[in-house]
Amino acid sequence: MRRTTRRRRTTWWIWAFAVFVVLAAFVTYSFVEPFRVETKQLTIADPDVPAAFDGTRIVLLTDIHRGWFFSEERVGRLVDRINALEPDMVVLGGDYVYVDSKYQASCFRELARLEAPLGRFAVLGNHDYGDYEDGSGGPAPAIRAIEGAGITLLRDEAVWVEKDGSRLRIGGVSDYQVDVPRLAPTLEGTEEGDFILLISHNPDFAEELPAGAVDLVLSGHTHGGQITFFGLWAPYLPSDYGQKYRSGLVETDATTVIVSNGVGSSIILPIRFFARPQIVEITLRSGGG
């Protein structure tokens, strides 16, 4: 009887220790993953892409959340990494800082070094509208920092990007969560057959789009779930559509949406679990669907 009891106690401690080791490994990894930034490559083939833009490469960088746990040096390393890709265009998807507006200046001091011959374009995310812990409110600090960096802010605005006599439309909307985004300025002056790219920090806005109005939407906001069950499901997503816009390429009845995991974090601890931070490199191809 005593031997059986001892065996049970020994077995219990072995299992307890094993569970502790596994949990410790998971917790440790969740603090390591935020530094394992991946470059995700996607190709978008669309007959509306002009031949002159075939092979055009766009880099999407979003949700930096510069703050206590995301230093200016880390932003600088991201910029160096993007410049090494030699993109034709850079899109910044919003949420540049977290907690305190004072970080806007240092964040965009580095983002100003981004190089892209066809342009650098930005929209505001929900965290760029203020309500910071330092008491400041409103998007003014973010707007000043973006404009000071020489980056084109698209706040319910759009521009034509031209190359070799052809053009495509790049529009950006206000944040869907804290503002009222307007699509009309992006569509103004366009014709059937124009390739229209829309930047919306929040991918949920894609649900508001008329079918066929926009060819491609670039978004962030969801952080890929940030904490997931091995990349398959996230217990929490800041979206009204469940897991639909968690991460990656999403085909809807109206358009195609690319949702980046972003590179920062938005909870008290800077952790991620099977939702690696990412830079997304998109190659446009003229032709097939």
Domain harbouring 274, CATH code: 3.60.21.10
Specify whether 8 is located in the same domain as 65: no
Q: Total structural domains in the chain?
A: 2
pTM attached to this predicted model: 0.91
Specify whether 276 is located in the same domain as 151: yes
Specify whether 194 is located in the same domain as 255: yes
First to last CA, the chain: 72
Specify whether 21 is located in the same domain as 46: no
Q: Which domain holds residue 29?
A: 1-35
Specify whether 62 is located in the same domain as 154: yes
> How would you write the pLDDT of the chain (289 residues) with one tens digit per residue?
455 555 555 676 665 555 545 455 545 656 688 889 999 999 999 999 999 999 999 999 999 999 988 999 999 999 999 999 999 999 999 999 987 888 999 999 999 999 999 999 999 999 998 755 455 568 999 999 999 999 999 999 999 999 999 999 999 999 999 999 999 999 999 999 999 999 999 999 999 999 999 999 999 999 999 999 989 999 999 999 999 999 999 999 999 999 999 999 887 778 999 999 999 999 999 986 5
How far is the C-alpha of 285 from the C-alpha of 45, rounded, in Å? Answer: 4
Q: Compute the residue count for the chain.
A: 289
Specify whether 25 is located in the same domain as 77: no
Return the pLDDT at 269. Answer: 77
Return the pLDDT at 100. Answer: 81
CB contact set of 22 (below 8 Å; sequence gap of 6+): none
Specify whether 117 is located in the same domain as 206: yes
How far is the C-alpha of 155 from the C-alpha of 172, rounded, in Å? Answer: 6
How far is the C-alpha of 123 from the C-alpha of 145, rounded, in Å? Answer: 12
Specify whether 201 is located in the same domain as 114: yes
CB contact set of 135 (below 8 Å; sequence gap of 6+): none
Return the pLDDT at 4. Answer: 57
Residue 148, classed as helix, strand or coil, is helix
The DSSP call for residue 69 is T
Composition of the chain by helix, strand, coil, percent to 5: 30, 25, 45
> Is 173 in contact with 202 (CB distance < 8 Å)?
no
Specify whether 96 is located in the same domain as 219: yes
Specify whether 4 is located in the same domain as 147: no
Cα–Cα nearest to 146, from 199, 207, 81: 199
Specify whether 89 is located in the same domain as 22: no
Return the pLDDT at 70. Answer: 92
How far is the C-alpha of 117 from the C-alpha of 95, rounded, in Å? Answer: 24
Return the pLDDT at 99. Answer: 76
Specify whether 50 is located in the same domain as 9: no
> Is 276 in contact with 248 (CB distance < 8 Å)?
no
